[in-house]
Structure 1
Amino acid sequence: MRIVDPTSGLGPADLTDLAELPAPSSGTGVLCGLSNSKPGATVLLETLGRRFFEQHGLGPMTVASKPSAASGAEEELLDHLGAQYRLAVVAIGD
């Protein structure tokens, strides 16, 4: 697992390689978003999804959500996303 966190200076490697990755055999795509269910998270993920598509050819990005911002993501959801996608973008801000 490679974690990219722009707030701590961990920038992404060349994302063009990701566009060439095949989707998992049981999956639907390369890219997904995971919303923490706070206000604005879905809009942030949708905007990032458009940019990933326009600039890197990744997409379309599916967006999943946790049931509540007050609790962590259920293991079933994380396992599902891990089996379906190669890259996840997590929105944790308001």
Structure 2
Amino acid sequence: MRIVDPTSGIASETTAAVAAFASPAGALCGLSNSKPGAHDLLAAIGRRLADDHGLGPNGLEAKPSAAVGADAELLDHLAAQYRLAVVAIGD
């Protein structure tokens, strides 16, 4: 798994590689931390990814609570269903 911090930016060749990697249906999801505003934040990011890179969340998943980390079952589900996840952590 590669984790990319969007606050530091990524090189354009990385963006192209991510776009190619994420092109199949179901490749990208949003993962909500269940805080207020997380769904709206992920929806806005999805629209931006779709507009700028032809990507966009094909699904939206959520942790049951912001107070706990994602459990192994949820992570296994994400790994089986998606290739990339945008995670709401700073909403």
Q: TM-score, normalised by structure 2?
A: 0.82
1:18/1:58 contact within 8 Å kept: no
- The residue number in structure 2 matching 1:93 is 90
SS at match of 2:85: strand
Matched, 1:61 2:58: yes
Matched, 1:36 2:28: no
SS at match of 2:31: strand
1:36/1:92 contact within 8 Å kept: yes
Segments of 5+ residues of structure 1 without an aligned counterpart are none
RMSD in angstroms over aligned alpha carbons?
Answer: 1.8
- The residue number in structure 2 matching 1:47 is 44
Q: Which moved more, 1:76-85 or 1:59-68?
A: 59-68
Distance in structure 2 (CA, Å) of the matches to 1:74 and 1:60: 21
Q: Identity over aligned residues, as a percent?
A: 65
- The residue number in structure 2 matching 1:71 is 68
Instruction: Map Cα deviations across residues 43-72 of structure 1 (whole Å, 9 max, x no partner).
Output: 110100111111111134311000111111
Q: Which runs of 4+ in 1 moved over 3 A?
A: none
Segments of 5+ residues of structure 2 without an aligned counterpart are none
Number of aligned positions between the proteins: 88
> Which of the two has greater helix per residue?
2
SS at match of 1:12: coil
Distance in structure 1 (CA, Å) of the matches to 2:78 and 2:3: 16
